Amino acid sequence: MLENLFASRIDIKTKSRLVGLFPDNNFADNISFGGGCPDEQLFPAKELTAAYQDAVCRQMNHAFQYHDIKGPERLREYLAARAQAKMGISKVTADDVMLTAGGQQGIELVAKLFIGKGDAMAVEAPSYVGALAAFDAYEPTYYQIGMENDGVNIDQFESILKKHPEIKLFYTVPDFHNPTGVTMSLKKRERLVELANKYDFVILEDTPYRDLRYHGQDLPSIKSFDTEGRVIFLSSFSKILTPAFRLGWLVASPEIKEQLTNLKLAEDLEVPYIPSATVDSYIANNDLDQHIEDLKDLYRAKLDTMYRALKQNLPAGTKVSHPEGGFFFWIELDPEIDTTSLLWKQSVPDQHLIYVPSESFYPNRDIKNGMRVNFTGSTIKQINDGCRRLRAVIDSAEISLPELSLAI
């Protein structure tokens, strides 16, 4: 009844990309290849509890007070040093680092800063569903750039830029892309910055999976090639430590960081003290890099298991990505298969298996024959069992294909 009072940008007719993404799967033998969940067995619960106690005890009552928008200085110094050592970004100081409520808030703030109704932005197609949900709210005109095995199709991007020089923002997940798992080549990273300088746009480089490489060599970040302060480097503690503290961080040029900070002030006033001080204390008293190595050992085994199991179980000719890190594989099925209806009608009720259908990852939700499968949140046994179930799901879809075509 009050809908006519909502802001005009609120689209009540279109379902949010993030709501109802996963059907209930309450069966005793359920398997979820759905969300991008870390393996909770490896959360360092004991060390984080000690860090929480340390964070509170250092300040006692003051710990529960309002704090400032910057967050702990020592944590930002650590992240500045990490950005230089591991991301190849030169001359970063604690003042260049901004803490955010997860990487998700970083994306949302960048959308708010750069996108107004109808403004042109480019995204990889497919792209991270949560980023599209954040962008959707600011009503961009999307330009979609296809993905290749070594990252975004840069030639296609340049021809789109020639036709649409009004594009102001490009969002990319260059390392172990969500959802495809692909990593952008070094050459493309350099070329992207050249394009940004030439066609005057900003790049949001979103890297929550960057530290989780299980095979191959690390590559420098896109930000490391930035000559004009056009690249915003965004990362998060969610996948390498815990998502529960909602702590992300970004490195941006002073003019961009100042505006993002103003927007964050208006959104939530501060970086919550207790989560940020807990992470600060954890890092000061533990070896985060060793923890990441432990994660990598486990996730490497899971990735290799899932790759083998997918190859064994998927019908010949099915396209499946082969990531070197991160959390996801991407599968492309026969163009006539609709993976959304397959999920709700067959995969969950018959096989008790969840995956994420491809339509969520496209601005227009129009590509239906793909799926993202996560391997980090399942056990090795669940990965093997789940891939066998996936085979049964796909077989059932293929059996009903002629019927489907007739119905069309």
Ligand X SMILES: Cc1ncc(COP(=O)(O)O)c(C=O)c1O
32 binds ligand X (CB under 6 A): no
How far CA 366 is from CA of 19, 22, 153, 339, 376, in Å, comes to: 18, 18, 19, 12, 28
Taking CB under 6 A as the criterion, the residue among 17, 33, 36, 71 binding ligand X is: 36
Nearest to 79 by CA among 279, 253, 337, 303: 279
Helix (H), strand (E) at residue 99: strand 97-101
The stretch among 101-109, 114-122, 254-262, 287-295 that binds ligand X (CB under 6 A) is: 101-109
3-state secondary structure 119-155: CEEEEEECCCHHHHHHHHCCCCEEEEEEEECCEECHH
Which residue's CB is nearer to ligand X, number 178 or number 382?
178
CB of 102 to ligand X, least distance (A): 3
Q: What phi and psi, each to the nearest 5 degrees, are found at residue 395?
A: -60, -45
The Cβ-side half-sphere exposure at 264, using a 13 Å CA radius, reads: 27
Q: Is residue 103 close enough to count as binding ligand X by CB under 6 A?
A: yes
Q: Which residue in the set 34, 102, 323, 370 belongs to the binding site for ligand X (CB under 6 A)?
A: 102
Nearest approach, Cβ of residue 99 and ligand X (Å) = 11
In the complex, the smallest distance separating the C-beta of residue 159 from ligand X, rounded to whole angstroms, is: 26
Question: Of 158, 157, 135, which Cα lies nearest the Cα of 144?
Answer: 157
Element (H, E) at 369: none
Binding flag, residue 72, ligand X (CB under 6 A):
no
| Minimum CB distance to ligand X, residue 18 (Å) | 11
- The pair of structure tokens assigned to 210 is 């960057």
Rule CB under 6 A: is residue 248 a binding residue for ligand X?
yes
Closest CA to 181 of 75, 310, 280: 310
Question: Smallest Cα–Cα separation from 238: which of 128, 387, 133?
Answer: 128
The CA radius of gyration of the chain, in Å to the nearest whole number, is: 22
Q: Is 374 in the site for ligand X (CB under 6 A)?
A: no
Q: Does 174 bind ligand X (CB under 6 A)?
A: no
Q: Is 276 in the site for ligand X (CB under 6 A)?
A: no
Q: Which two tokens stand for residue 266?
A: 């208006």
CB of 315 to ligand X, least distance (A): 28
In DSSP terms, 120 is beta-bridged to 141
Residue 43 CB neighbour total at 10 angstroms: 15
Query: Which of 180, 236, 276, 278: binder of ligand X (CB under 6 A)?
Result: 236
238 belongs to the binding site for ligand X (CB under 6 A): yes
Phi–psi pair at 295, nearest 5 degrees: -60, -45
Work out which of 134, 173, 356, 394 binds ligand X, going by CB under 6 A: 173
Residue from 72, 140, 243, 275 in contact with ligand X (CB under 6 A): 243
- According to the binding rule CB under 6 A, does residue 326 interact with ligand X? no
By beta carbon distance, the residue nearest ligand X is 102
What is the closest distance, in whole angstroms, from the C-beta atom of residue 178 to ligand X in the complex? 4
Residue 236 CB, shortest distance to ligand X, in Å, is: 3
Q: Which is nearer to ligand X, 108 or 226 (CB)?
A: 108
d(CA 309, CA 384): 6
**Quick one: which segment of 100-108, 298-306, 307-315, 364-372 binds ligand X (CB under 6 A)?**
100-108
Geometric angle at alpha carbon 185, from 125 and 255, rounded to 5°? 75
Binding mask 114-153 for ligand X (x = CB under 6 A): --------------x-x-----------------------
Does 208 sit near ligand X (CB under 6 A)?
yes
In the complex, the residues that contact ligand X under the rule CB under 6 A are 36, 102-104, 128, 130, 173, 178, 206, 208, 236, 238, 243, 248
